[in-house]
Every structure is written in C-alpha cells, then in structure tokens.
Structure 1
Amino acid sequence: MKPVSELLRAREGTLWHVRPDETVFNALQLLAQYEVGALMVMDHGKVVGVVSERDYTRKVALQGRNSKETQVHEIMTRNVVSVGPRTGTRQCMALMRDKRIRHLPVIDGDTVLGMISIRDIMDDIIAFQDETIGQLENYIQS
C-alpha cells in the first residue's frame, strides 16, 4: 500500500482549514464550498482541532444552538489524531476504525501537509485490489 504522502500529492492545494474563532456557519460554508466533510482548525500554523459535519450535527443542530453565534473552538474535536507522510493506507484504515474517525491530518514535524479521509483510503485500497486482480488474471491467462 502507498504512503499517505502519495494520496496528498494527487490533490495538492487542499490544505483547507478554519480558525478557532470563526463561526460554525463560516465553517459550514467552507465545507459546502470544498465539498468535504471536515476541516482542520488551525491557529498560527498549528492544528488545534478538527471540525466536521458530525460535530455540527451533534453539538449545534441537535442542541438548538445558532451556527452564526457559535464559534468553531466550542464544537471542534480537540484531541486530534494525526499521521505522518510515510504512514501506509492500511495503517490509516486501522487507526480510523479504532478511533472511530473519518479524517486524519497528515503532519510532518511542524508542517501540516493536508488531511485524508476514509474515502481517500478506500479509493486507494480498491485501486490496489483492482491492480492485484488484473495481475492475477494476466498470470492465469499466460
């Protein structure tokens, strides 16, 4: 399986984030604009949280809060689980399963490289399996 750095390289320019003092409404607009399910919450170049559609649903909508008055830091997930650029996709899949999360920031030292989602991981695993099946079919036919 490939390292996550290769997954990120395929979609450069996707370091989508929001500041902790921005409103949840603004974060929702960014989620819709970029068609993603989560954003990194960054403060002075460091990841301080992740805010997702799930955070909005559970911590704003279901609690009757107002997204234009609630700030991101009030609902974000603070204990961020991240991986390094050399982490393999299978290891990421296991981590996501164990932690029950769908998004993983990729960080190299102090540098934030991006974020991968469960969809990125699944696409890579499916592509790898398709390639393996193709190789086995060619082997059998020869």
Structure 2
Amino acid sequence: MIVAKILAHKGRDVFTTGTEMSVADAVRLLGAHRIGALVVVDAARRILGILSERDIVRTLAASGAAALDQPVRAVMTEKVVTCSENDTINEVMARMTKGRFRHLPVVENDLLVGLVSIGDVVKARIEAVEREADEMRAYIATA
C-alpha cells in the first residue's frame, strides 16, 4: 500500500500555521482539533517547518511559561522529513522510526498535499495484514 491510498481514505486536510502565530495560540489550535502537530507553511503551502507537541514541551522545559509568548518560528523544527504519495507504508514506517517522529507531511512538487501520522500508517498496515490473512484462509478453505 502507498501513501496516496491512506490520503484517499482519511482525506488531505492538514492543519497549518504561519511562522508568526504565538506558541500559546498554536497550543489552543492543537487542543481544539485534538491533533499532535501543525505544519508551518508559507502562502504557497511550501513547508517551512513543523510544530509538534514535543517541540512545545522541549521549549516549555527550557523557558517556562514565557515560551508561550514566542512565535512558532522560534520553536518549530525547521528540518522537516517528508514523503511523497508514492512512498510505501513500509518506507514511511521506517522513516518515522528512524527519525523518532509521529507526523510526516506529504509533499508533491514542493507543496504540502497531506499529512500522515503513525496512527494512520499502523492502521493501514494492520488492515493489509488482516486482508492477507483472510485471503490465505480463503485459499486454504478452497484447496
């Protein structure tokens, strides 16, 4: 299975922000939508960074409550690992495991077109394994 199939099922909507939003406002946005990361983009939807719960916790630990007044650009992860719609689930899982992150923006022609989370990837992998098991049982039953 490839990333495009995950996006076809879950949708392509991605919560994004610009670099000037305060961390406090970003925290409210994350909480309101029950999500773990915001992709930081410019007006053309080119990725500038990603702001995850981990980035926020790290900044709070270092700066205390004053961190909430900082702009997103000061705390976001700037070097963002991405994937394409044609990447396989196994490739994406390996990338997430190696980088120890849970959100992977999907990029085509340098523009953000979706986001997959580790939950999306694990769910898709489990569905694929269950489908394979069902096919094996059907094959054995007809043999």
TM over 0.5: same fold? Answer: yes
The residue identity in structure 2 corresponding to 1:20 is T
Q: 1:88 to 1:13 in 2, by over 3 A?
A: closer
CA displacement at 1:70 relative to structure 2: 1.4
Equivalent residue letter for 1:38: A
Whole-angstrom distance in 2 between the partners of 1:47 and 1:63: 26
Could you tell me how far 1:61 is from its partner in structure 2? 4.5
Q: Structure 1 CA distance, aligned partners of 2:117 and 2:62?
A: 24
Q: Tell me the matched-pair count.
A: 141
Residue aligning to 2:4:
5
Q: TM-score, normalised by structure 2?
A: 0.91
One-letter amino acid of the structure 1 residue matched with residue 24 of structure 2: F
The 3 A distance-change label for structure 1 pair 133 and 39 is same
Q: Deviations over 1:70-99 (max 9, x none)?
A: 111111000000011111111000011111
Q: Alpha carbon RMSD of aligned pairs, Å?
A: 1.4
Residues in 1 aligned to 2:11 and 2:62: alpha-carbon distance in whole angstroms: 35
In structure 2, C-alpha distance between the alignment counterparts of 1:97 and 1:13, rounded to whole Å: 23
Amino acid in the other structure paired with 1:78: E
Letter of the 2:140 partner, please give it.
Answer: I
The offset of 1:32, in angstroms, is 1.5
Q: Mark the runs of 5 or more structure 1 residues left unpaired by the alignment.
A: none
The one-letter amino acid of 2:114's match is: G
Q: Secondary structure at the match of 2:25?
A: helix
Give, in angstroms, the shift of residue 124 of structure 1. 0.4
Structure 2 stretches lacking a partner, 5+ long? none
Which residue does the alignment assign to 1:133? Answer: 133
* Deviations 1:13-45, CA, capped at 9 Å, x for gaps: 522101111011111111122211111011222
Give the number of the structure whose residues are more often helix, by fraction: 2
Higher alpha-carbon deviation: 116-125 or 63-72: 63-72
Task: Name which of structure 1's ranges 58-67 and 39-48 shifts more when overlaid on structure 2.
Answer: 58-67
The answer to whether the Cα contact below 8 Å between 2:37 and 2:103 also exists between their aligned partners in 1 is yes
1:23–1:67 CA contact under 8 A, matched in 2: no
1:107 aligns with 2:107: yes
Kindly provide the amino acid, as one letter, of the partner of residue 111 in structure 2: T
Which structure 2 residues correspond to residues 88-127 of structure 1 after superposition, within 5 A? 88-127=88-127
Percent sequence identity is 29
Normalised TM-score (structure 1): 0.92
Amino acid at match of 1:115: L
94-103 or 121-130, larger mean C-alpha shift? 94-103
Report the residue type matching 1:55 in the other structure: D
